[in-house]
Structures are given as C-alpha cells and as structure tokens.
C-alpha cells in the first residue's frame, strides 16, 4: 500500500482485480441500483466502479478507519453518482440503515479474511437487515472450499495473515454461507476469478430477518 499527496492511498491489487470484478457487477446489478460498499479501503474501487457503471448506479462507499475515509475522499473527486462523504460504518456495530442510503446491493471486497470472524457475522447481520427481498450481497476474495485443495499462493497468504493477527485468515466458504443463511441470504453463485479468488453472490429471500 502506498500513499500520495492529499491522503489518497493506493493498493496495487486494485488495478489487477477491478476489471474482472466490474464484469460481474455489470451482469448482476439491477438498473437503477443503489449500492453500498462495505470496507471501501483506499476508495479506488468506489471511484472506478461508480464511473464505469454510470449514473443509473449510485455508489455509497463506507469504512470505519480514519485513514481509509480520508483516502476515499481524496479519490472520490469525480463521478456524480459516487456519494460522499463516505459513510462511517463498522459492520460489527451495524445499527439502522443510514438515511438516505437504501441499498439494492451490498459489495464487500477483500475484507472478511483481513478481519476477525465477528466482522463476517456483522456483515451478514447488516445485509440481512438492510437488503430488501431479492437484494444481493457480493463478496470477493480468497476462500477455502471444502473438497478443493488450497492453492499454494493462498496457503502462503493465509499463513502471513495469521502471523499478523491470529483472528485473521481465509474463511471456509461453507461457514460463510451458513452465517449468511442465518439472515435469509442464500448463496446463488460462485465465480472463479483471477489469482485464485472467488466472486460469491448471495440473494436475500423473502421474509423478515432479525433486526440489527
């Protein structure tokens, strides 16, 4: 991660993965759509997706880290459909949906493995409470998949994460899906992505979820 003048941070992985992620989002998002991004980090994805998806998609970035919020602001000068300032949002303490953001979809890229398991549980609680029936939750990142050997690069990455924080690490997709199901979110699609990552898509089924 590097930083430039004005507080804008840059993650090299963003340039590598943003086009493949965009291709999936272009296919699955309704039009028009209001999209809430959880853990927007540097803000590079938010600015890119808002610009590429066009005015029918309103993009709401969010984060709970002060440096991330500053970086989002620095990257966000541009697309009118990028809503700034970014929402200050901690998924472990979701609370009520912040007006006027009423998401049709929630996007979370490369967060759940660089956070404690409580963040995944909070994300599922938030998505289950905030999405309407038919709304989608999109996750991107590396996962463990039962019955599939983990790629050597992901094994190395997992070890490095756990060395930084024992509460971090690649999550078992089945466990993530179970946590989602507890909040009426059904796993509908997994898509192989470059560099041994997955796009994972959940859809909110009808019925009332437990409130946040």
Q: Tell me: the pLDDT tens digits for 64-112?
A: 999 999 999 988 777 899 999 999 999 988 777 776 778 999 999 999 9
Q: What is the largest CA-CA distance in the chain?
A: 48
Nearest to 141 by CA among 194, 202, 188: 194
Q: Residue for token digits 């490095």?
A: 160
CATH number of the domain enclosing 79: 3.40.50.150
What is the tally of structural domains in the chain? Answer: 1
* 139-186 residue pLDDT tens: 999 999 999 999 999 999 999 999 999 999 999 999 999 999 999 999
Average pLDDT, the chain: 91
**pLDDT cut 70: percent of the chain above it:** 93
The answer for 104, left when phi > 0, alpha when psi is -120 to 50, beta otherwise, is alpha
Q: Domain containing 92: what range?
A: 2-204
- In the chain the first and final C-alpha atoms are separated, in Å, by 33
Task: Judge whether 210 lies within some domain.
Answer: no
Task: Judge whether 186 lies within some domain.
Answer: yes
Task: Judge whether 211 lies within some domain.
Answer: no
Task: Judge whether 209 lies within some domain.
Answer: no
Task: Judge whether 86 lies within some domain.
Answer: yes
Q: Supply the pLDDT for residue 211.
A: 42
Task: Judge whether 20 lies within some domain.
Answer: yes
Q: Supply the pLDDT for residue 209.
A: 45
Q: Supply the pLDDT for residue 208.
A: 55
């Amino acid at each position: 991660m590097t930083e430039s003048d004005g507080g804008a941070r840059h993650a090299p992985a963003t340039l590598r993965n943003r086009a493949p992620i965009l291709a999936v989002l272009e296919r699955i998002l309704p039009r028009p759509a209001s999209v809430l991004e959880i853990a927007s980090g540097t803000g590079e994805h938010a600015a890119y997706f808002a610009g590429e998806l066009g005015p029918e998609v309103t993009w709401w970035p969010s984060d709970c880290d002060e440096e991330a919020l500053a970086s989002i602001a620095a990257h966000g000068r541009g697309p009118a459909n990028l809503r700034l300032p970014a929402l200050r949002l901690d998924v472990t303490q979701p609370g009520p949906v912040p007006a006027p953001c009423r998401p049709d979809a929630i996007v979370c890229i490369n967060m759940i493995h660089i956070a404690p398991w409580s963040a995944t549980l909070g994300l599922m609680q938030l998505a289950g409470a905030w999405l309407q029936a038919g709304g989608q939750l999109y996750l991107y990142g590396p996962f463990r998949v039962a019955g599939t050997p983990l790629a050597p690069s992901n094994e190395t990455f997992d070890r490095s994460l756990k060395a930084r924080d024992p509460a971090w690490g690649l999550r078992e997709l089945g466990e993530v899906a179970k946590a989602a199901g507890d909040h009426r979110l059904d796993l509908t699609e997994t898509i192989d992505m470059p560099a041994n990552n997955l796009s994972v898509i959940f859809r909110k089924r009808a019925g009332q979820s437990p409130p946040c």
